Amino acid sequence: MTDWTQQTQQARTWFESLRDRICAEFEAIEREAGSDAAFDYIAWDRDTDVDQAEAGSHGGGGVRGVMKGKVFEKVGVNVSTVEGKFSPQFAAQVNGASEELPEFTATGISLVAHMANPHVPAVHMNCRFLTTQAAWFGGGADLNPPIPYEDDTADFHAELRGACAAHNPTYYDRFSKWAEEYFYIPHRGVHRGVGGIFYDHLECENETDFERHFAFTRDVGEAFLSAFPKIVRRRMEAGWTEADKATQLEWRGRYAEFNLVYDRGTLFGLKTGGNIDAILMSLPPEATWS
């Protein structure tokens, strides 16, 4: 079996560097809006009180970064690197894991931004590298506007399309369709937003595969960093009404429903002894249900 320790560290180092650049850009936007808001960073270790029978062995941790400002009502950027064993029940649901071989490592970045102005879209992005008896990359980004604008949607998708096209001509069609299917709320009969891309199980059988899929994952992160701040700056000074805010708060309720009921990342974190505050940082600061 391949030892992926060095590759896991490579991925971790890049995820942390991407976090630093994203947070610096978001803080710059706050300065442009006349705010001195900045990220607070809180380090965490995997919960040693979690029952071994339910969540497996313990190892690793991460850093949770949160900022609450004038433009970004609440944005969380998490990086983590964890290792351990899946519970027997959860191992059966994970690529390459089994009750007999439940060991895993995982490193990644996860970001969710909820915006103060209803005209500025919320956004989600994550990239990750996991190893069990298999090794693979997954990730993606999707735009979640309470009040959609066609040019925002087009620009966001164009950046992701370009990232995909540089690596495989089939990626964008495959992964944008996957996002459309994945970010859907069945009990509401609506999509969570206007899409993006979602991919998983880009498997690495050797170092060449790792380099190829890691390069694609890096380009996904770069595409996000290129696209989203431009959209924020385009909309952040737009005027809004109480009706606009009500639309945003109701939409946020749908977002919360998806993340608590269907999101794979939420389930993975809860099942592997992750930091609860980091896992649930995706929830909006305020929402309504009619």
Residues 6+ apart with CB under 8 A from 157: 176, 195, 196
Rounded to a whole number of angstroms, the distance between the first and last alpha carbons of the chain is: 53
Q: Are strands 184-185 and 190-191 parallel, antiparallel or unpaired?
A: antiparallel
Three-class HEC string of 24-77: HHHHHHHHHCCCCCCCEEEEEECCCCCCHHHHCCCCEEEEEEEECCCCEEEEEE
Question: Would residue 41 count as lying in a domain?
Answer: yes
What confidence category does residue 59 fall into, taking pLDDT thresholds of 50, 70 and 90?
Answer: confident
**pLDDT exceeds 70 at position 221:** yes
Report the C-alpha gap between 172 and 129 in whole angstroms. Answer: 20
| Amino acid letter, residue 237 | E
Between 1 and 181, the more confident residue is 181
Alpha carbons 69 and 7: distance in angstroms, whole number = 36
Kindly state whether residue 18 falls inside one of the protein's structural domains.
yes
Average pLDDT over residues 215-230: 98
Return the SS3 of 194.
coil
Gyration radius of the chain's alpha carbons:
19
Q: What's the pLDDT score for residue 55?
A: 46
Q: Assess if residue 287 is contained within a domain.
A: no
The per-residue pLDDT for 29 is 98
Is 288 contained in some domain? no
Closest CA to 265 of 174, 138, 155: 138
Number of domains present in the structure of the chain: 1
Lowest mean pLDDT among 13-27, 75-89, 262-276: 262-276
pLDDT at 90 over 70: no
DSSP 121: P
DSSP code for 240: -
- As a whole number of angstroms, the distance between CA 210 and CA 275 comes to 28
> What pLDDT is attached to residue 103?
80
Main-chain phi, psi angles of 230, to 5 degrees: -65, -40
163 touches 175 (CB < 8 A): no
Percent of the chain past pLDDT 90, that is, above it, reads: 76
pLDDT score for 22: 98
Does residue 37 belong to any structural domain of this protein? Answer: yes
Apex CA 160: angle with CA 111 and CA 129, to 5°?
Answer: 50
**CATH number, domain containing residue 209:** 3.40.1500.10
pLDDT band with cut points at 50, 70 and 90 for residue 53:
very low
What is the mean pLDDT of the segment spanning 239-259? 97
Range of the domain at 220: 5-282
- Residue 24 or residue 290, greater confidence: 24
Can you state the percent helix, strand and coil of the chain, rounding each to 5? 45, 25, 30
Q: In angstroms, rounded to a whole number, what is the distance separating the alpha carbons of residues 212 and 26?
A: 29
Given this model, what pLDDT does residue 68 score? Answer: 98
| 229, part of any domain | yes
Does the reported pTM lie above 0.85?
A: yes
Domain assignment of residue 171, yes or no: yes
pLDDT above 90 for 154? yes
**Residues with a known catalytic role:** 124
CB contact set of 44 (below 8 Å; sequence gap of 6+):
61, 62, 63, 64, 275, 277, 278
Say if residue 130's pLDDT is above 90: yes
Residue-level pLDDT at 210: 97
pLDDT value, residue 275: 82
Q: How far apart are CA 197 and CA 182, in angstroms?
A: 10
pLDDT of residue 180: 97
**Is a pLDDT exceeding 70 seen at residue 203?**
yes
Task: Compute the average pLDDT of residues 150-163.
Answer: 98
List residues bridging with 194 in a β-sheet: none
Please determine, for residue 287, whether its predicted confidence score (pLDDT) is greater than 80: yes
